[in-house]
């Protein structure tokens, strides 16, 4: 599931292209139109001379039409990211055989590469809007909410022990195994990577430890595989993201320390369990409040949908505020 989220982030790059085009054509804001017009008049042989009459005419044009892209940059680009991913998803499924041949995440990565190439060809030097905070707080939460809300709850809790063993123990085994294997490769003098530490290899291993089961689950649905096997794969993919996020932040904090003491390692292990358990209790608290609130909205069913989204999003933000797992919450 983590690769699917990354693929969505890679596919949502259309607004940077739009912003760069707007910057090239009209400058960064409407107030720069007069400066743009004057510069064009100075540098071109066919441009009008700078006179008081022309200046007043340009001012009139500025009053009639102006562009302030910076004012709406962040919400506009986030909206266009989501729209591009949605249109790409619709386009993939219009041709039914295409998702069966190539996983949807790979197709979204391909879309992201195309948009990234277009942006790079424009020599975009402005910093992109998307960063880790926007990704975790705005884009990841709705995806996890969708997966958790439509999950079959009874088979999930019936096999919760097996799912947790796969999600927690299996993901940690995967992360540490990748880190140790890469560290062994770095010790080979031929590759000249001896300066890469073991901690940085663990950091990278935690980043790619989560497995993307989207293609496998789609095949399971087509062949109507055993329901228990389906829920095990689905439940593990839902919870392994929380484990990898905790490991990633843990190794990131370790890499920023000048020295790591045994007490720091014990604190990191304790924080690992605290983050997961704290996220569970945060989600339960907001879930009970949501159930109590929606008990009084029988005559206003439209508000129920709003409450479901708001309480779920509040649980994620509250957990992140206390440095707990917003994904689990």
Domain residue spans in the chain?
A: 73-129, 152-256, 260-328
User: What gap in Å lies between CA 28 and CA 40, rounded to an integer?
Assistant: 16
Average pLDDT over residues 157-183: 91
Six token digits for residue 147:
């997966």
Largest CA distance in the chain: 80
Do residues 256 and 247 lie in contact, with contact meaning Cβ atoms separated by under 8 Å?
no
User: What gap in Å lies between CA 87 and CA 85, rounded to an integer?
Assistant: 6
**How many Cβ atoms from other residues are within 10 Å of residue 215's Cβ?**
16
Do residues 147 and 1 lie in contact, with contact meaning Cβ atoms separated by under 8 Å?
yes
User: What gap in Å lies between CA 239 and CA 106, rounded to an integer?
Assistant: 22
Q: Give the pLDDT confidence of 253-305 residue by residue, as tens digits.
A: 888 888 888 888 888 888 878 888 888 899 999 999 999 998 888 888 888 88
**How many Cβ atoms from other residues are within 10 Å of residue 5's Cβ?**
19
User: What gap in Å lies between CA 247 and CA 245, rounded to an integer?
Assistant: 5
Q: Give the pLDDT confidence of 231-240 residue by residue, as tens digits.
A: 888 888 878 8
Six token digits for residue 317:
């933000």
Higher pLDDT, 128 or 279: 279
Do residues 125 and 235 lie in contact, with contact meaning Cβ atoms separated by under 8 Å?
no
What is this structure's pTM?
A: 0.64
Q: What percent of the chain has pLDDT over 90?
A: 16
Higher pLDDT, 218 or 178: 178
DSSP state, 138? I
């Amino acid at each position: 599931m983590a690769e699917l989220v990354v693929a969505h982030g890679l596919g949502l790059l259309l607004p940077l292209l739009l912003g760069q085009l707007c910057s090239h054509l009209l400058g960064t804001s409407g107030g720069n139109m007069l400066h743009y017009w004057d510069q064009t008049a100075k540098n071109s042989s066919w441009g009008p001379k700078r006179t008081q009459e022309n200046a007043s005419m340009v001012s009139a044009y500025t009053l009639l039409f102006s562009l302030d892209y910076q004012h709406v940059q962040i919400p506009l680009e986030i909206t266009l990211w989501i729209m591009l991913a949605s249109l790409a998803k619709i386009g993939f499924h219009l041709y039914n055989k295409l998702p069966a041949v190539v996983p949807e995440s790979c197709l979204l990565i391909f879309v992201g590469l195309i948009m990234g190439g277009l942006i790079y060809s424009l020599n975009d030097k402005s910093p992109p809007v998307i960063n880790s905070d926007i990704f975790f707080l705005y884009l990841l939460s709705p995806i996890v909410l969708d997966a958790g809300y439509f999950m079959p709850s009874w088979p999930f809790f019936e096999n919760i022990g097996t799912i947790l063993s796969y999600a927690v123990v299996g993901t940690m085994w995967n992360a540490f195994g990748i880190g140790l294997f890469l560290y062994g490769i770095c010790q080979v003098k031929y590759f000249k990577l001896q300066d890469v530490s073991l901690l940085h290899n663990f950091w990278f291993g935690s980043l790619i430890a989560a497995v993307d089961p989207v293609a496998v689950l789609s095949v399971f649905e087509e062949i109507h595989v055993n329901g228990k096997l389906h829920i095990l794969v689905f439940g593990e993919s839902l919870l392994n993201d929380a484990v990898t996020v905790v490991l990633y932040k843990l190794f990131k904090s370790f890499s920023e320390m000048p020295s790591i003491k045994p007490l720091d390692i014990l604190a990191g292990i304790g924080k690992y369990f605290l983050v997961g358990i704290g996220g569970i209790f945060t989600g339960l608290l907001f879930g009970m409040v949501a159930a109590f609130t929606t008990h009084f909205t029988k005559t206003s069913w439209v508000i129920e949908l709003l409450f479901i989204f708001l309480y779920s999003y509040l649980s994620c933000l509250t957990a992140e505020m206390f440095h707990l797992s917003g994904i689990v919450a």
